[in-house]
Amino acid sequence: MNRIYELMFIVRPDMTEEDLDKLLSTLQSVVPASGGSVQKVDKMGKRRLAYTVRRFHEGIYVLMVVEGGGAVIHELERRLRVTEPVIKFLTVRIDEEQKRLDKIKQLRDARKKVSAQPAAPAAAPAEAPAAPAAETPATA
């Protein structure tokens, strides 16, 4: 069963562009061999880390969107774990989130269609009688 995953990883800030491209090509070649496909690769560039990771204060962020089964992700994570320049990585399954967002969008569209139709004049609601004031105990 194919699912969609976002795989974000951070590499050392002193890694050259050539080495980063070589790492990305290696990871991209692993995905089809494991029965998946790479939908998108986004090099986000060098950014400051929220906290120190392996004595680094900055890192180069890379985001990959991968479609495939669990075997694909397992192999990618195994390779990232043993690759020395990778200082942090995280994989998130996003297909369920996309389904949920599509459902919300359909509900909103349905509400817009209903509200776009002219509404019949509604009667003003009658006011409810005022509730009696609560008695406060007297203090001596």
- In total, how many domains does the chain have? 1
Query: Which H or E run contains 3?
Result: strand 3-11
- Cα–Cα distance measured from residue 7 to residue 77, given in angstroms and rounded to the nearest whole number: 9
Of 12-21, 34-43, 115-124, the poorest mean pLDDT is in 115-124
Assigned domain for 115 exists = no
Element (H, E) at 77: helix 70-82
Domain housing 39: 3-97
Does position 116 have pLDDT exceeding 90, yes or no? no
Which pTM was predicted? 0.71
Residue 118 lies in a domain: no
Mean pLDDT of the chain: 88
CATH number, domain of 28, equals 3.30.70.60
pLDDT in tens, 21-41: 999 999 999 999 989 999 999
Q: Over the stretch 37-59, which tens digit does the pLDDT of each residue have? A: 999 999 999 999 999 999 999 99
Q: Report d(CA 5, CA 96) in Å as an integer.
A: 10
